[in-house]
Amino acid sequence: MRTAVQIVVIFVVLLVFGFAKYQHEDRLSRDMVSHKLIQPPLRDGTSLQLGQTGAAVALGGLRSLVAAIWNFRAFIHFEELNWIKVEEAYEVTTTLQPETTYYWETGAWHLHTNASSYFRENNDLSPYRRKSMQKRYIEKGSSFLELGITHNPDNWKLHRNLSRIWSDHHKIPDIKRAIKHFDNTLNCKSLPEFRRAQTQRFKYYAMTRLDTIQEETYRLGCELFKASTDNHLPKLSCTLFALQNALNIPQKERIPDSELFPNSEMQLAWLKHYIAAKKIGYPMNGVDLKIQQLETKALFKL
């Protein structure tokens, strides 16, 4: 009897103090969310995730450890080539630590590179099935990164990974898609300055592989070439050289070969190297001819 009365009193007191505390808690919680110290509370309609999130939430202090263990598990599944388990393990890992780029990157890498090439090279499958499974896992890797981006919108590394997937000629390139992701990477505030030029160049290289936008590509190429001598790299010079031919740029407006290349020997070496990568889809207009001319010239010099 006494105990019952005491418990009622305790509840009443807690309720009364509850009214004193809840606004303070609410404000503190929202401040923590805005500083990204805790995860935002569940939104309406996400109660399905309650199980997972609930477990993550109550782990308090153990979350990253459990995530690391799942990451390790994923690695074991990877060694067993059990791709479904790998995928599951990374889903758990990233649920636990959604802001860790490492897990998104590694998880996606297992899917879009390891799993997809495993299927591509699997001789037990029919050629059609090989292709479709390869494509499927590349898509999976890509959407895994997209999911990571919804958690970390300004993470340049995740955007860059996406652009890499879709411009990778070992995979199934989708240049338009890749260009979109390059743009997203460049729009990230988190992108360090020393990475900017490189990213722009990569975007440009991807663009050169699309012959429908060659004018735009050429403008960007010139811009990059003029922006800094750091950009005077073999591939940039060679693509500009080919694009000028492709677009039939009048001689006066062209960047002369003497500017594009350090000297004619280097030009020959670069172009020879460049033409070897023909199958990637870079423009090759006039490259063959130039190589022949340069080789003849070199022969006469001797």
Cα–Cα distance, 299 to 301 (Å, whole number): 5
Q: Give the nearer residue to another protein in terms of CB position, either 62 or 81.
A: 62
The least distance separating another protein from the CB of residue 24, rounded to whole angstroms, comes to 7
Task: Kindly tell me the burial class for residue 302, based on how many C-beta atoms sit within 10 Å of its own C-beta (0-12, 13-18, 19 or more).
Answer: exposed
Q: Give the nearer residue to another protein in terms of CB position, either 36 or 273.
A: 36
At residue 259, the 3 state secondary structure works out as helix
Q: Give the nearer residue to another protein in terms of CB position, either 128 or 194.
A: 194
SS3 content of the chain, % helix, strand, coil (to 5): 75, 0, 25
The least distance separating another protein from the CB of residue 231, rounded to whole angstroms, comes to 15
Cα–Cα distance, 32 to 172 (Å, whole number): 42
- Nearest CA-CA partner of 104 in 150, 56, 38, 51: 150
Q: Give the nearer residue to another protein in terms of CB position, either 72 or 227.
A: 72
> How many CB atoms within 10 Å of residue 238?
26
The least distance separating another protein from the CB of residue 27, rounded to whole angstroms, comes to 8
The least distance separating another protein from the CB of residue 117, rounded to whole angstroms, comes to 12
The least distance separating another protein from the CB of residue 16, rounded to whole angstroms, comes to 9
- Say what the alpha-carbon torsion angle 154, 208, 222, 236 is, to the nearest 10 degrees: 90
- In degrees and rounded to multiples of 5, residue 82 shows phi and psi of -95, 90
Sites of contact with another protein (CB under 8 A): 1, 3, 6-7, 9-11, 13-15, 17-19, 21-22, 24-26, 28-29, 31-32, 35-39, 41-42, 44, 54, 57-65, 67-68, 71-72, 74-75, 78, 97, 99-102, 105-106, 108-109, 113, 161, 192-194
